[in-house]
A and B are shown apart, each in its own frame.
Chain A
Amino acid sequence: MEPAKTVHVNQQPIIQVKKRKKLTTDRWMSILFLIPSVILIAIFVYGFIGWTGYVSVSNWNTIVPDFSFAGMKNYLYLLNDFRFQADLRNTLAFTVLFIALVIILGMGLAILLDQKLVRGESIFRNIFFFPMALSFVVTGVVWQWILNPSTGINLFLKNFGIEPKWYTDTNILAGFEWGKIEFGLPVAIIAVVIAAVWQMTGFALAMYLAGLRGIPDDIREAARMDGCTEFQLYRKIIIPLLKPITVSVIIMMAHISLKIFDLIYAMTGPGANFVTDVPGVNMFETTFRGNYYANGAAIAIIMLLSVAIFIVPYLWSNRKGES
C-alpha cells in the first residue's frame, strides 16, 4: 500500500520529505473514502452471493431454516423441472426477440432522426424516450390491459378479422419435444416482448443517436463523393462504425432481459402452462410463496451465472482497454 505516486525529483530535499508525508496522508484519505463502499460491496454483493450459494446446496426447503448439506439436489431438481425448463426456453426466446427488436427499432429510428430532413426532431425524440422514465410495473399494468384478449387492442383488430390471444396463447411456434417441455417460441412471450420493446427502445435510440452524432460529416461526404448511395453508406460504413455501441446495447439489454421480473410479474405472471414464466418470477414465487428457499437460491445462482457469462468478459475487456 506504499504510495506509488512519483515525487518530483528536482525539488529540494526538505520539501520532498514534506511532500512525501503529505502524499501519505492523502493516500490514506483516499483509501478512507473508498473503504466504506468496498466493505459494503464485499459483504452485500460477494458475501451474500456466497451465502446464497450456500443456501442453494442446503435442505432449506421448509418454512424453518435447515442448513444441512444437500449437495446438488436442488440444482438437479431444477434441471428436471418442467417449470424451470420452460423458464429457460422463455428467457431465451424473450432475450433474442427483445434484443433484436430493440436494436432494429433503436438503430432504425436513430438513423431516421439523424437525417437532416426531419424538422421537429426533438418532439419525436421525446416521444420515443419517455417510456424509459416509467417503471416496468406501470408498463406491465398498462400493456396488460391493452393486450388483454377480451378488452384491449383486439377490439380494433376484430374489424380486420384477426383476434390474437396475446399472452393467453399457449401455443409454441416451431415447437419440438425437448426434455420435459416443448421447445420453441411461445406465442405469449411476444406480447411481453412488445411491452418491453416499447419501454426500452428509447435506450438504444439514445445510444445510437449519440453514436451517429459522433461520426464526422467528412466520412459521409467522402463516401458520397465516391459514389456511395445512401443505403450503401449506411450498410457499408455507418453501421459498422456503430459496432461498439451495438455491443454495449446488446450487453445492457441482455442483462436486463436475463434478470427480468417486474414487467412479467405485473403483466402476466407465470401464465398458463408457464408460457410467460421466467427465472426471476419463478425464484420469487418458489422462495417467498412456496418457502422452497434452497430451490429459490439455486434458481438465483443459475440466473447469476447466466448474467456473468455476458458481463464478466465485457467488464474484463473494458478494464484492459482502459489501463
Chain B
Amino acid sequence: MKKFRILLAFLLVVSFALEACNNSEKSTGSGDGKNNKESSKAAKLEIFSWWTGAGEEDGLLALLDLFSEEYPDIKVENAAVAGGAGTNAKAVLASRMQGNDPPSTFQVHGGEELNASWVAAGKMEPLNDLYESEGWNDKFPQDLIDMVSKDGKIYSVPVNIHRSNVLWYNKKIFEENGLQPPATFDEFFAVSEQLKDKGITPLALGDKEPWTATHIFENILLAKLGPDDYKKLWTGDISFKDDRVVKSAEIFAKMIGYINDDHSSRNWQDASQLVANGEAAMNIMGDWAKGYFVNDLKLKVNEDFGYVVTPETDGYFMVITDTFGLPKGVKNPDDVKKFLGVLGSVEGQDAFNPLKGSIPARIDAEVSKYDEYGKAAMDDFKASKLTPSLAHGSAAPEGFLTRVNQAVNIFVTQKDVDQFINALETAAQELK
C-alpha cells in the first residue's frame, strides 16, 4: 500500500514536471506560440502565399497597399512562405488545414489543386454570392470560372494568368541560320536537325525538378488531342491508351532526343540560361520565363529572344492561374470577402499583374499597363480556348501529378512508350 502511494506521488511529480516543461517551452517560443497566433488572428487578415520572389512580392505588396487604402481599419498580415516554388507553402498549408487552423485566405492554383483537396474535404466556402454581388460572372472567361468551380459552386477568385504553352527561342541563332520558329512538330524536328548539325543544342531542358518535363508533355497532349479531349483525359472519359496519347508520347520521346546532356543537373532557370547565352536554341516554359529573361538576364523581347506558341497549339491557351478562396472556420469571413473583392477588381488585378509579370484574369483590365508580351498574351487569352495545366496542378489532383512526374522522369531516360503509357494508365485509376 505504501509503495503504491509513493508510486502515485511520484507519477504526480513526473507529470507535473512534464507539464511545467511544456508550459515554459510554449512561453519561451520566439513570439510564435499558439496563444499568440490565435489572439492576433481574430483581428488580422492573414494572406497566405508563396510570393516572395522579386517581382511577385512587389505585386503582392501593391495589392495589399490598395486593400489598406480602401479598408484602413482591417489589419493585414502578409504570411508568405518562401522556398521550393510553393512546395514549402503547400506543406505548411496542409498542416494548418489539417489542424483546423486555416489562414484567412491562401494562394492556390485554380483547378484540381483546390477542388480535389480542400473543396473535396469540405473545407472551403462557395463564393457564388460574391461573384453575383461583384458582377464577376461575365468578367472572367467562362472556361476559367469552370476551372475554379466544382458541381456548380465557385470556390476561388483568380488573380492572375500565366501561359504554359510558349516556346522561347534565341533570335540570333534563328536569324544566323535562316530558320523560322516551328509551328508544327514536323517543323520542330526539321529545325532541330539543322541546329544539331550546326552543333547547337536544339531544345534546352532542366528537369532536376521533374515538372519541367511534364510541362513539355502537357503541351504535346494539348496539341494532339485538342482542348476538349485534353480535358476529358482528367475526367477519365478518354483513356491514356488512346492513340493520340500514344502519338504524343512518341513525339515527346523524339523531342527528348534533342535536349542537352546535363538536363538532370539543371533547373528551369539554368535551362533558360542555355537559350539566353546561345548554347541552346529553344526552350518550352511558362511565360514566367519572360520575367527571368528580361529582369534577371537583362535581355530584350523580340530582340534577343522571341516566342511563339508551342507546336500545333495555336488558338489554345494552357492556363496557370493563382487564386484565393475562403476557408471554412475563419473568424473574419466578411473581411476575407472584402479582400477577395479587391483581388478580383480591375484595380486590384492591374496593381498586381504588371509587377508580377503575369496578365490579369479579368478580360476588362487596362491593357496599357502591360508590356508588349503582356498585351499580346491578353489578346490571346480572350480569343483562345482555355485549358488547365497538368504540370502545375490545375488539371488533376496532386497525387496523380506526383505519379505522372515519376513516370515522366523515367521516360525521359528510357523513352519506352509502352511502359510510359502503362504507368499513366495505372496512375489514372486514381482519377475516378
Contact = CB atoms under 8 A, between A and B. Distances in A.
Contacts of B402: 285-286, 289-292
B262 A35 contact: no
B353 interface: no
Interface string B115-133: 0011011000000000000
Given A63-B94, A273-B413, A274-B409, A290 B265 contact: no
A79 B412 CA distance: 22
Contacts of A291: 94, 398-399, 402
Contact of B262 (A62, A82, A150): A150
B208 A273 contact: no
Contacts of B264: 167-168, 170, 271-272
Nearest to B18: A36
**Interface-central residue, B14, B97, B263, by most chain A CB under 10 Å:** B14
B261 A273 contact: no
Contacts of B18: 36, 39
Contact of B414 (A144, A270, A273): A273
Interface of B: 3, 6, 10, 13-14, 17-18, 87, 91, 94, 97-98, 117-118, 120-121, 207-210, 261-265, 398-399, 402-403, 406, 409-410, 412-414, 423
B13 A32 contact: yes
Given A149-B265, A288-B91, A291-B398, A272 B121 contact: no
A83 interface: yes
Interface of A: 1, 28, 31-32, 35-36, 39, 61-65, 82-83, 144, 148-150, 165, 167-168, 170, 268-275, 285-286, 288-292
A34 to B, nearest CB: 11
A63 B121 contact: yes
B412 A272 contact: yes
Contacts of B121: 63-64
Contacts of A64: 98, 117, 120-121
Contacts of A271: 264
Nearest to A163: B261
Contacts of B94: 63, 291
Describe B's contact surface by its main secondary structure.
helix
Nearest to A170: B413
A274 to B, nearest CB: 7
Nearest to A80: B426
Given A32-B14, A291-B94, A292-B399, A149 B412 contact: no
A6 to B, nearest CB: 20
Contacts of A168: 261-265
7 contacts: A28-B6, A150-B262, A168-B263, A170-B413, A272-B263, A288-B91, A289-B91
B262 A149 contact: yes
A36 B118 contact: no
Contacts of A61: 399
B414 A32 contact: no
A272 B91 contact: no
Given A165-B262, A290-B402, A82 B14 contact: no
**Interface-central residue, A83, A144, A165, A291, by most chain B CB under 10 Å:** A291
Contacts of B412: 272-273
Contacts of B208: 269
A99 B98 CA distance: 42
A137 B14 CA distance: 38
Nearest to A272: B264
Contacts of B209: 269
Contacts of B97: 63
A32 B413 CA distance: 59
Nearest to A150: B262
A290 B261 contact: no
Contact of A167 (B3, B6, B87, B265): B265
A289 B87 contact: yes
Contacts of A150: 262, 265
Nearest to A181: B410
A28 B210 CA distance: 58
B261 A149 contact: yes
B10 A39 contact: no
Nearest to B122: A64
Nearest to A286: B402
A79 to B, nearest CB: 14
A163 to B, nearest CB: 10
Contacts of B91: 288-289
Given A35-B14, A273-B412, A63 B406 contact: no
Contacts of B423: 82
B398 A272 contact: no
Given A149-B261, A272-B263, A65 B87 contact: no
A201 B316 CA distance: 57
Contacts of A36: 14, 17-18
Contacts of B17: 36
A273 B409 contact: yes
A62 B123 CA distance: 14
Ranked 3 nearest A-B pairs via Cβ: A290-B402, A273-B413, A272-B264
Given A150-B262, A272-B412, A274-B409, 18 more contacts: A1-B3, A28-B6, A39-B18, A63-B94, A63-B117, A148-B262, A148-B265, A165-B261, A167-B264, A168-B262, A269-B208, A272-B409, A286-B402, A289-B91, A289-B402, A290-B398, A291-B398, A292-B399
